[in-house]
Amino acid sequence: MTPEINIRRLTANDVLHMRNMLAMFGQAFEDIPTYTRDQPSTPYLAELLSGNSFVALAAFEDDRVIGGLAAYVLPKFEQPRREIYVYDLAVAQSHRRLGVATALIRTLQRVAKELGACVIFIQADYGDEPAVALYTKLGTREEVLHFDINTESQDNPA
């Protein structure tokens, strides 16, 4: 039997749920320290969740977070529109292959439309075949290169 899953956008009143989502991300990504060791303060998270530049969607079974999506809303400069970048998406191991990730993305599509976004984009790592299959089913695949640029200038080391 498939469990009853409820998905909703987190607000400033949901800091505890956001912390639970961070813990779930840590477990799902096998990187608990990154997501739990130095979490932001409650006022910081409340402010983040209160605006329209960040979207946190949580999937609940009863009151337990079993999936989550964190995305940034990017205002565009060339036209009066927005794009949404999904930064993290994960589902607890116990609830995978039940449609939770698809439901999270479908919910984000509705939120994106409300926010005036024209597209949602997301990255997947090579070798993460379940993610690649999901995103291929829901969108158009583009091959791109991704670069991380250190904030420390090579000309003027700190």
The verdict on residue 93 lying in a domain is yes
- Which residues, 6 or more positions from 22, have their beta carbon under 8 angstroms from its beta carbon? 35, 36, 39
Check which CATH number belongs to the domain holding 63 and give it. 3.40.630.30
Number of independent structural domains in the chain = 1
Instruction: Indicate the angle between helix axes 42-50 and 15-28, nearest 10 degrees.
Output: 100
Determine, yes or no, domain membership for 152. no
Does an H or E element contain 85, and which?
strand 82-91
Pairing between strand 82-91 and 117-122? Answer: parallel
The type of residue at 85 is Y
Q: What is the pLDDT of residues 118-144, one digit of tens each?
A: 999 988 777 777 766 677 667 776 777
- Token digits for 147? 């670069």
- Picking from 22-31, 49-58, 94-103, 136-145, which range would have the lowest pLDDT averaged per residue? 136-145
Tell me whether residue 1 is in a domain.
no
Query: Model confidence over 74-112: pLDDT tens digits?
Result: 999 999 999 999 999 999 998 988 899 999 999 999 999
Identify whether 148 is part of a domain.
no
Residue type, 37: R
Please indicate, yes or no, if residue 158 is contained in any of the structural domains: no
Global pTM value: 0.85
In a domain, 34, yes or no: yes
Tell me the residue range of the domain where 52 lies: 6-138
Residue type at 157 in one-letter notation:
P
